[in-house]
C-alpha cells in the first residue's frame, strides 16, 4: 500500500465570514508498491503535471494548479490507476474548493476520489475533512457537523493529528452556531501533549479555534495572544494567507483591549502580506483602521508605511480604499 503524505493548507473561517478555503494536498508514493496484486509504476506524464501543480498551488495559483491536476487525472483515468485517479481527483477538489464557484464541482471529484481510494484499498483520512469544510463554506453547517460527529465517533481509530483537526473544526462549527459551551468542550478535548508533537499547521488550527472562542466570550486579551500564536505557527507551516488573516484578527483583538500600537502593527503586517501575496482576502478595513490608529498615535513613520501600502494596493488593482 502506498504511503500518503500531506503538505500545506487548511480551511479557515472567522465567525460567519468564510475565508478563502483550501486543504492539504495528498501525494501518493507509488513506485514498486503492490496493492491487491497490482504493481503500480510512476508515470512520467503524471509526475510532470503533479510537480507543476504542486508548485503552482504552493505559490497560491489555485487555478493553474487545477489545470495541471486535470491533465494528471485524465492520464490516470486512461491508465486505470486507482491510486493515481484518487490522489489527483482529491487534489483537484482541493484546488476547486478554494473558489466559491468551484465547490460543487469539487464535491464531484471528491466522490470519485473516495471510490478509487476504496478500490485501491487505501484509507484517506483527508477526504471527509475536506467534505466537511466544503459543506461549511457553502453554509451547510448542519451537514458539516454531521460529518464531524461521525468522524469523532471513530475516536481511537483516528490518527492523533486528525482527531485534533476534527476537534478544532467542530469547535469552529459550534462557534458558527453560537454554541460556545459546545465549542469549549471541543477545545478541552484536544490532547495538549499530542498537540505539542504534531505539525505546525494543525497546531495553528487549534490555536485559532481557541482564539476565536476567547473573542466570542468577550476575552480579547487572550484572543489577541491566541491569534498572534496562530500567526507564528501558520508562518512556520509556510501558510502565509492564514498567517496574515490571524494577524488581522490579532489586530482587531488588540484594538478591543485598547493596545492601539499593537493593533496598528498587526494590521500593517497583515495587509502587507496580503497585498504582496496577491490574496483575494479583503483587507480594506484593516488598512483603514491601521491608518487611523497610526495617525491617532502620531507615529509618523508607521503612518508613512501605511500610505505606501495604500499605493501598493492601488498599483495591484485594489480599489475602493
**Predicted TM-score of the model (pTM):** 0.83
pLDDT at 319: 47
Within this chain, do residues 10 and 123 fall inside the same structural domain, yes or no?
yes
Within this chain, do residues 108 and 151 fall inside the same structural domain, yes or no?
no
Q: Which of 114, 138, 162 is the last residue of a domain?
A: 138
Beta pairing partners, 28: 4
**Residue tagged 478555503 (cell numbers):** 21
Helix axes 260-277, 284-296, angle to 10 degrees: 140
Within this chain, do residues 14 and 126 fall inside the same structural domain, yes or no?
yes
What's the domain count of the chain?
Answer: 3
Within this chain, do residues 3 and 128 fall inside the same structural domain, yes or no?
yes
Four-residue CA torsion sign, 138, 143, 146, 151: negative
Q: Which residues of 49-79 are buried (b: 16+ CB within 10 A; e: fewer)?
A: bbebbbebbeebbbebbbbbbbbbbebbeee
Per-residue cell: 269 = 503586517
Per-residue cell: 284 = 480594506
CATH of the domain at 85: 1.25.40.10
Within this chain, do residues 166 and 92 fall inside the same structural domain, yes or no?
no
CATH of the domain at 294: 1.25.40
Q: Which of 138, 155, 187 is the last residue of a domain?
A: 138
Per residue in 180-208, pLDDT (tens digit) is 999 999 999 999 999 999 999 999 999 99
Within this chain, do residues 95 and 166 fall inside the same structural domain, yes or no?
no
Per residue in 66-81, pLDDT (tens digit) is 999 999 999 999 999 9
Given a cut of 90, whether residue 298 has pLDDT beyond it is yes
Within this chain, do residues 230 and 124 fall inside the same structural domain, yes or no?
no
Report whether 191 contacts 165 (CB < 8 A).
no
Q: For the chain, give the mean pLDDT.
A: 87
Confidence bin at 23 (pLDDT 50/70/90): low
What's the number of CA atoms in the CB half-sphere (13 Å) around residue 27? 13
Averaged pLDDT, 145-165: 90
Q: Which residues of 27-37 are buried (b: 16+ CB within 10 A; e: fewer)?
A: bbebeebebee
Within this chain, do residues 5 and 133 fall inside the same structural domain, yes or no?
yes
Q: Pick the range with the lowest mean pLDDT from 39-43, 84-88, 257-261, 302-306.
A: 39-43
Report whether 253 contacts 215 (CB < 8 A).
yes
Q: Tell me which residue range forms the domain holding 42.
A: 1-138
Within this chain, do residues 1 and 130 fall inside the same structural domain, yes or no?
yes
Given a cut of 50, whether residue 297 has pLDDT beyond it is yes
Q: Which of 198, 227, 243 is the last residue of a domain?
A: 198
Report whether 224 contacts 215 (CB < 8 A).
no
Instruction: Give the span between the Cα atoms of 156 and 194, in whole angstroms.
Output: 13
pLDDT at 17: 34
Within this chain, do residues 277 and 229 fall inside the same structural domain, yes or no?
yes
Confidence bin at 21 (pLDDT 50/70/90): low
Within this chain, do residues 4 and 134 fall inside the same structural domain, yes or no?
yes
Given a cut of 80, whether residue 261 has pLDDT beyond it is yes
Per-residue cell: 141 = 453547517
Within this chain, do residues 134 and 172 fall inside the same structural domain, yes or no?
no
Amino acid at each position: 500500500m502506498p504511503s500518503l503524505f500531506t503538505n500545506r493548507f487548511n480551511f479557515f473561517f472567522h465567525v460567519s465570514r468564510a475565508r478563502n478555503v483550501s486543504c492539504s494536498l495528498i501525494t501518493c508514493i507509488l513506485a514498486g508498491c503492490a496493492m491487491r496484486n497490482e504493481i503500480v509504476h510512476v508515470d512520467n506524464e503524471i509526475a510532470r503535471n503533479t510537480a507543476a501543480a504542486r508548485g503552482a498551488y504552493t505559490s497560491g495559483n489555485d487555478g493553474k494548479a487545477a489545470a495541471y491536476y486535470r491533465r494528471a487525472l485524465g492520464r490516470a483515468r486512461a491508465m486505470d490507476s486507482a491510486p493515481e485517479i484518487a490522489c489527483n481527483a482529491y487534489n483537484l477538489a482541493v484546488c476547486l474548493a478554494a473558489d466559491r464557484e468551484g465547490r460543487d464541482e469539487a464535491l464531484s471529484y471528491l466522490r470519485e476520489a473516495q471510490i478509487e481510494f476504496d478500490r485501491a484499498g487505501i484509507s484517506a483520512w483527508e477526504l471527509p475533512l475536506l467534505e466537511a469544510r466544503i459543506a461549511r463554506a457553502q453554509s451547510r453547517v448542519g451537514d458539516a457537523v454531521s460529518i464531524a460527529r461521525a468522524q469523532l465517533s471513530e475516536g481511537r481509530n483516528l490518527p492523533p493529528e486528525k482527531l485534533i483537526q476534527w476537534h478544532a473544526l467542530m469547535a469552529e462549527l459550534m462557534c458558527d452556531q453560537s454554541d460556545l459551551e459546545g465549542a469549549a468542550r471541543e477545545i478541552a478535548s484536544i490532547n495538549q501533549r499530542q498537540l505539542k508533537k504534531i505539525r505546525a499547521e494543525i497546531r495553528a488550527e487549534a490555536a485559532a479555534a481557541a482564539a476565536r472562542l476567547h473573542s466570542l466570550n468577550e476575552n480579547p486579551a487572550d484572543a489577541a495572544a491566541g491569534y498572534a500564536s496562530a500567526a507564528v505557527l501558520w508562518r512556520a507551516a509556510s501558510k502565509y494567507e492564514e498567517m496574515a488573516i490571524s494577524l488581522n484578527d490579532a489586530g482587531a483583538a488588540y484594538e478591543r483591549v485598547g493596545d492601539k500600537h499593537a493593533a496598528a502593527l498587526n494590521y500593517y503586517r497583515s495587509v502587507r502580506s496580503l497585498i504582496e501575496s496577491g490574496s483575494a482576502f479583503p483587507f480594506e478595513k484593516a488598512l483603514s483602521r491601521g491608518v487611523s490608529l497610526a495617525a491617532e498615535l502620531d507615529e509618523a513613520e508607521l503612518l508613512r508605511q501605511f500610505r505606501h501600502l495604500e499605493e501598493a494596493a492601488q498599483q495591484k488593482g485594489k480599489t475602493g480604499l
